[in-house]
Amino acid sequence: MKKIKLVKLGLGLCLAGLLSVPSIASAAMDYNVDFGSINNGTAIGSGTPIAGGTDYGAFQRLNVGTTFGPGTAWTVGGNNVDYITGYWQSPNGSYLATGARPDSVDLEGAGAAGSISTLINTGLGGLVTIHFSITGNPDNGTGPKSGTIAVSLGGAVQNLTYTVTVANTLANMGWINETATFDVPGGGVQTLTFAGTGPNSGYGLVIGSPVPEPTTVFAGIGALGLLLFGAGVHSKRSVLRIGK
């Protein structure tokens, strides 16, 4: 009988732990940057120009005010930017001008830094983590490329830097996953902005969707095991916390 009571007690504690998880998760939000390979339902590739831009085949130069991406979710500001549709390796590893893939954006179009913005609904607020990847345009030699990421509430800004080396090529861009975590206590709809800051040469910092990574699926009592033993998955991404 004593053993049965202990088992019941253990299960009760585990269930209590499971019930507490949603309340913790509800205070946080994850947002994956996505430039897509479509523009408002139209597949993007050579010969499919975006209104407000110039089609150079493997990339399109988008002017200020141009909207692009899935559902035209992103808007260009500052100066023009280059929307890459096949010129170099995409974050998911493909290096073809055709086919579904997450495209990327060079934050410097023609000689000066531009920006891209989108609206995200942060719900009731709390910690909002933005998932994306970065690299640098390798066409103008080696050196650092810089930019910023910001969420409108409180004007929080985080600097981003990527150093291009001789290992960076059009076929192997050397994408690195990044995350930026913002504290958004007010919640609601916020503006997410990536902006270039240098070197203002037309070959700048490049933003992309998160690089796909192998995932571990916990089946059956996996979640229960995590609660019992405190196991966790360590991310290789850097976490940038702002507003705390």
CATH of residue 34: 2.60.120.260
Looking at residue 156, its pLDDT comes to: 80
Q: How confident is the model at residue 240 (pLDDT cuts 50, 70, 90)?
A: very low
Query: Is 52 a domain residue?
Result: yes
Query: Is 129 a domain residue?
Result: yes
Query: Is 72 a domain residue?
Result: yes
Query: Is 108 a domain residue?
Result: yes
Domain that holds residue 187: 29-242
Looking at residue 96, its pLDDT comes to: 63
Report, as an integer, the average pLDDT of 75-93: 89
What are 8-41's pLDDT values in tens digits? Answer: 444 444 444 433 322 223 358 999 998 876 666 6
What are 204-236's pLDDT values in tens digits? Answer: 999 999 987 654 443 333 433 333 333 322 233
Return the structure tokens found at 10: 């253990």
User: Which sign does the torsion angle of CA 65, 102, 157, 28 carry?
Assistant: positive
Return the structure tokens found at 116: 């891209």
Return the structure tokens found at 147: 């930019």
Averaged pLDDT score across all residues of the chain: 75
d(CA 17, CA 29): 21
Residue with tokens 């269930």: 15
pTM of model > 0.85: no
Question: Poorest-confidence range of 82-91, 153-162, 204-213, 224-233?
Answer: 224-233
Number of domains in the chain: 1
Q: Name the burial class of residue 229, with classes exposed (0-12), middle (13-18) and buried (19+) by CB atoms within 10 angstroms of its CB.
A: exposed
Query: Is 15 a domain residue?
Result: no
pLDDT at 184 over 60: yes
Q: What is the 3-state secondary structure (H, E, C) of the chain?
A: CHHHHHHHHHHHHHHHHHHHHHHHHCCEEEEECCCCCEECCEECCCCCCCCCEEECCCEEEECCCCEECHHHCEEEECCCEEEECCCCCCCCCCCCCCCCCCCEEECECCCCECEEEEEEECCCCEEEEEEEEEEECHHHCCEEEEEEEEECHHHEEEEEEEEECCCCCCCCCCCEEEEEEEEECCCCEEEEEEEEEECCCCCCEEEECCCCCCCCCCCCCHHHHHHHHCCCCCCCCEEEEECC
Q: How confident is the model at residue 154 (pLDDT cuts 50, 70, 90)?
A: low
Query: Is 71 a domain residue?
Result: yes
Query: Is 14 a domain residue?
Result: no
Query: Is 22 a domain residue?
Result: no
Question: Poorest-confidence range of 93-107, 141-155, 229-243?
Answer: 229-243
